[in-house]
Each structure stands twice: as structure tokens, then as C-alpha cells.
Amino acid sequence: MRRELFDIPEGVIYLDGNSLGAPPKHVAERMQEVVKHQWGTRLIRSWSEGWWEAPQRIGDRVGRLVGAAPGQVVVGDSTSVNVFKALMGAVKGTGRTEIVCDESTFPTDGYIAESVASLTGLEIRAAHPSSLDLSEDTAVVLLNQVDYRTGALHDMKALTEQAHAVGAQVIWDLCHSAGVLPIELDALGVDFAIGCTYKFLNGGPGSPAFIYVPHARQATFENPLSGWNGHREPFGMKPSYEPDPGIVRARVGTPDILSMLALDAALDVWDDVDLAELRQRGLALTALFREHVEKLTNLEVITPEQRGNQISVRCQEARAVMDELIARGVIGDHRPPDILRFGFAPLYVTDEDAVRAAEVLADITR
């Protein structure tokens, strides 16, 4: 859809945008401007010329892609740190006893949930999204919209309603769905969401993550990482922490401006993307690849029909197969023990890429 805006090396079919998105071409030039002019020439003055508000401003840009009206998303910190903020914020004062965590989650969510359980005295229970078994003991459910291993897409509307039906809250991890399909956080009444920006949003390696705290939750949201950037009056240098009344309270320390402004530049390519059209292209690309791969023997496609922009394939000697694919210019990745993952970023992956990748896979595994 926008391949001309990206730098993809000659001879490479890049199917790992679900792990690290490719750089939009203009990001390198923007970084020169940031380093030489904003940092080098303006020096400290840049903090009052746009840097300080960048987490909210860029948060609103991400918000548009996940169905959040302005003033409810900030970027900053890593996904893991934002999971911690959201979970600690969610369990505070509920009087309930359990945290339910998607058993197939990318591990960091579960690891952070373990720490939160230990700090707060709640129990943690792992469950599959298809059988959550929630109750009035459940304080919060932490779910992934798209499963990182299988690419399965979970039903955000139904699962959010299921949580709310027993008075539980829900935190959605959007790492593998932001930039994949239309998301309606506001419309579905989601309690919290977090996600990364370096996969389908192409923000750059380790670019800042985001957190969504809806307007209705902001006044009671207690950020356990009460750093000075979330203070009501950060430059007042007050002795006690008083949180900003709005989304700014989800900020912590000084934002990593170089990474953040690379993300800002990368988001330019999203300005006129129609997310419904993007979704159709993603479905078409993954269907095309799947159709070819399903003809192959010795391989099993494990991605269900309800899916994100990813096709996962189980095969023997998966690591060796992926090494060979990469040696032949088809870059996906491998998750132990036996999964090959292929991500299809519709902004820069073409039908020809999908077909050619399947051909190379066929040749290697024949």
C-alpha cells in the first residue's frame, strides 16, 4: 500500500514486521534534524519547543489508530513497564483476589503479573481466552488481542463484555494488533490498553510503548511509578507527588526523545491510511501465503481463520529452516520449539513477496 515510502533492502522479502517494522525512508533525515538542530543548535531550549509535550502529542497519533479520542494515550517506557502501570492501577482498591492472565501471552505480561501479584497479595491464574472462567473474585484480566505465537485474533468486544459482566476490568495488550486492524478502545469501554510501537507501527527498535487510560479512569488511576513527569506541576519541584489530573499522570521519567521522535516521524506514513482497507490487504496477504503453504507436506499452519497479520507454521527443525530462509532473503522468525512466524505488513509487503516466500519455503522443506 505504501511500499515506496519504505527502505527495504534489495533482494529481501521482509516478513518480520511483526517483530521489528521496517524504517520509513524519511526517518533517517528526521533524526539528523533532531540531533543536529533540535539537540545541537537549540540545546536545552528544545524542551520548551515541543519535546516536553511529545509523549502526549505522539500518544494522540497512536490513539487515532486504536480508537482512542485525544487525551487518553501517552507514549514512553517499555511495554513491560506499561503493563506494570496498568495492572497496578487496575487492582488498586478493588478488594478482589485474582488477576487472570492469558496463558498463551507473550511471556513478559505474565512475568510482570507475577510481580504485581507478589506486591499486592493477589493470586494470579493463567487461562485461555476461550475459557477464562471469570468471577466476582476477578480484579482484572490481561489479554492479548493477537497471540504472538499463533497469530490468533481474540474477540475484544466479547471478552471485554465477559469481564465487565462480573465487574472485572480488562487490560488489552495491543502489541500484535496495533497497525493491523481497526481497534475501538473507546467504543468498547476498555479499561486499560498497552502496546508497543516497533512492530506494525514501524517506530524503530525498542521505540517507546504506549498506555491508554480512558478519561473515565484517569481521576482514580494511581501510577505506581510516580515520577516527576506525571506530576501536576513538574517544574514546581514540589516536595510531594500530586498527579496530573489527566493522562499525563501515566508518564514517569524524562522521555527518550531520540527514540520518541523517530517514532513520531515513522507515524507520518499512517496519516492517510484507511484501517479498514489496511485490514483487507492484511487478510488478503495472509490468505495468499496460507493457501500456498497449506499445499506443502511436513508443515502445519497453526494460525486460525480469525487472525492478525501473521501466519505461523509448525515444522521440524524450525530453527534450521528459518536460518536457511533468511540466507535466501526471506526474513521471518522462529519461536521455540518448532514455530516459524511470518508477518505481513500491508504497508510494504506485496502479493509477490507472499508467493515468493512460500516458494522458497517449499523448496527448503520439500
- Tell me if residue 212 is catalytic: no
Cβ neighbours of residue 353 closer than 8 Å, sequence gap 6 or more: 13, 14, 15
Stretch that binds a second copy, among 238-246, 273-281, 302-310, 353-361 (CB under 8 A): 238-246
Q: Does 200 bind a second copy (CB under 8 A)?
A: no
Q: Which is nearer to a second copy, 184 or 268 (CB)?
A: 268
CA pair distance 126, 132, nearest whole angstrom: 8
Binding mask 274-303 toward a second copy (x if CB under 8 A, else -) reads ------------------------------
> Is 262 among the residues that bind a second copy (CB under 8 A)?
yes
Note whether 333 binds a second copy by CB under 8 A: yes
Binding status of residue 126 toward a second copy by CB under 8 A: yes
Residue of 16, 77, 102, 173 marked catalytic: 173
Active site residue 111: no
Q: Is 59 in the site for a second copy (CB under 8 A)?
A: no
Q: Which residues contact 279 (CB under 8 A, 6 or more apart)?
A: 180, 181, 182
Helix (H) or strand (E) holding 86: helix 79-91
Q: How far is the CB of 112 from a second copy (least distance, A)?
A: 6
Catalytic one among 84, 106, 342, 344?
Answer: 106
Q: Is 84 a catalytic residue?
A: no
Among 49, 69, 93, 111, binds a second copy (CB under 8 A): 111
Do residues 276 and 350 make contact, with C-beta atoms less than 8 angstroms apart? no
Based on the residue annotation, tell me whether 341 is a catalytic residue of this protein.
yes
Q: Which stretch binds a second copy (CB under 8 A): 135-143, 160-168, 236-244, 349-357?
A: 236-244
Indicate whether 344 belongs to the interface with a second copy (CB under 8 A): no
Is residue 106 part of the annotated active site? The answer reads yes
CA distances from 360 to 170, 286, 323, 330 (A): 41, 16, 12, 8
Task: Kindly state the DSSP code that residue 297 receives in the 8-state scheme.
Answer: S
Contacting residues for 336 by C-beta, under 8 A, at least 6 apart: 318, 319
Do 120 and 91 meet the contact criterion of CB atoms below 8 Å apart?
Answer: yes
Q: Which stretch binds a second copy (CB under 8 A): 111-119, 165-173, 213-221, 299-307?
A: 111-119
Given the residues 14, 341, 342, 353, select the one marked as catalytic: 341
Q: Does 327 bind a second copy (CB under 8 A)?
A: no
The nearest distance, CB 48 to a second copy, in angstroms, is 11
Contacts of 276 (CB under 8 A, 6+ apart): 182
**Does the footprint of a second copy cover residue 350 (CB under 8 A)?**
no
Does the footprint of a second copy cover residue 19 (CB under 8 A)? yes
Measuring CA to CA, how many Å separate 224 from each of 97, 119, 251, 252, 365? 19, 11, 11, 9, 50
Q: Coil, strand or helix: which one is 363?
A: helix
- Tell the residue number behind the cell numbers 514540589, with chain if given: 238
Q: Which residues are catalytic?
A: 106, 173, 198-199, 341
